[in-house]
């Protein structure tokens, strides 16, 4: 696993941290979702005005994204996760290897998220019996963390899922 801070920009976002690893490596251990999200949260939160609180929220949000990827991806390829910052916003970019089926999942999930009425979708998903819907984490981010999602194809075998998060009111 590579972890490093790269200074390359994404528009006017400044990149803070990036890691990438083989998808099958990442998907071999559920605990990676928790560890990676917690590590990222600690590393990027120290200069937020309430660092402990920020780190808690960021870890929760990123963990749901990683859990989603953990469950839905093509078996092989490179998985990358990076975090960039612009003022109070954090941009999480996930490059996920996909096949036709998982690509379709992400595309339709993002479409739903941008359609509105996500709160009621999220709440009914949370309280239905049986296994959770696979898009539950994305719904939660949109509702509880006001995340805005977009999706870009990279090549035939991967998509880039972008989540913009604003976890604190203003930048201090």
- Give the binding site for other proteins (CB under 8 A): 1, 3, 5, 30-31, 33-36, 38-39, 42, 45-47, 49-53, 55-57, 59-60, 63-64, 67, 123, 126-127, 129, 131-132, 136-137, 140, 144, 168-169, 172
Q: What's the CA gap between 69 and 98, in Å, rounded?
A: 10
Tokens at 36, concatenated = 């990676």
- Which run of H or E residues covers position 165? strand 158-166
CB of 132 to other proteins, least distance (A): 5
Tokens at 13, concatenated = 């976002």
Check if the beta carbon of residue 98 is closer than 8 Å to that of residue 157.
yes
CB of 37 to other proteins, least distance (A): 9
CB of 154 to other proteins, least distance (A): 25
19 has which bridge partners?
A: 3, 81
Query: Judged by CB, which is closer to other proteins: 60, or 82?
Result: 60
């Amino acid at each position: 696993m590579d972890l490093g801070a790269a200074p390359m920009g994404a528009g006017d976002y400044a990149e803070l941290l990036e890691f990438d690893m083989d998808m099958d490596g990442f998907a071999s251990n559920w605990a990676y979702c928790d560890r990676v999200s917690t590590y990222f949260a600690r590393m990027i939160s120290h200069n937020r005005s309430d660092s402990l609180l920020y780190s808690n929220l960021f870890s929760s949000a990123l963990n749901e994204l990683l859990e989603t990827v953990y469950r839905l991806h093509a078996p092989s390829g490179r998985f990358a996760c990076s975090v960039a910052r612009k003022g109070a916003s954090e941009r999480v970019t996930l490059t996920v290897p996909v096949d036709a089926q998982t690509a379709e999942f992400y595309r339709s999930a993002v479409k739903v998220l941008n359609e509105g009425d996500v709160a009621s979708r999220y709440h009914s998903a949370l309280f239905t019996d049986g296994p959770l819907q696979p898009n539950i984490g994305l719904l939660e981010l949109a509702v509880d963390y006001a995340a805005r999602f977009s999706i870009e194809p990279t090549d035939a075998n991967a998509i880039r899922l972008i989540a913009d998060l604003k976890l604190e009111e203003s930048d201090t």
